[in-house]
Amino acid sequence: AQSVTQLGSHVSVSEGALVLLRCNYSSSVPPYLFWYVQYPNQGLQLLLKYTTGATLVKGINGFEAEFKKSETSFHLTKPSAHMSDAAEYFCAVRPNQAGTALIFGKGTTLSVSS
């Protein structure tokens, strides 16, 4: 079965510092990959996704992620953190086949200090 591992349940950075949230997946074939963000008391909002093609994917709010097949990773980065980036971030995969649902990691809470 496919699974997603997010390394670090909590990440703290200073405003202006690099954000790096780690995600590894297990799959026999490359799945579709996603990062979602959840602000307090909100649903999930799609940040970015990888399906096929270019392995560096740019998303909203200055975030980007790189699909590395050899490392089975899809880490999320942002060059300069902003206070408004404080939220919970979820990495998810979807097997590349019809009739399947997203499988989520356990989430990483990002704190940003001034």
Partner 1 sequence: DVKVTQSSRYLVKRTGEKVFLECVQDMDHENMFWYRQDPGLGLRLIYFSYDVKMKEKGDIPEGYSVSREKKERFSLILESASTNQTSMYLCASNRHGSTEAFFGQGTRLTVV
Binding interface with partner 1 (CB under 8 A)? 6, 9, 32, 34, 36, 41-46, 49, 51, 90, 92, 94, 98-99, 101-107
Query: What is the bridge-based pairing of β-strands 10-14 and 108-113?
Result: parallel
Residue 108, SS3?
strand
Sign of CA dihedral 36, 41, 43, 47: negative
Q: Which is nearer to partner 1, 81 or 92 (CB)?
A: 92
Q: Which residues contact 27 (CB under 8 A, 6 or more apart)?
A: 2, 72, 93, 95
Nearer to partner 1, 98 or 114 (CB): 98
Report, in Å, the least distance between residue 66 CB and partner 1. 18
> 3-state DSSP call for residue 84?
helix
3-state secondary structure of 85: helix
Nearer to partner 1, 10 or 69 (CB): 10
Instruction: In angstroms, give the least distance from the CB of 41 to partner 1.
Output: 8
Tell the smallest beta-carbon distance from residue 16 to partner 1 (Å): 29
Instruction: Decide whether 14 or 96 has the Cβ nearer to partner 1.
Output: 96
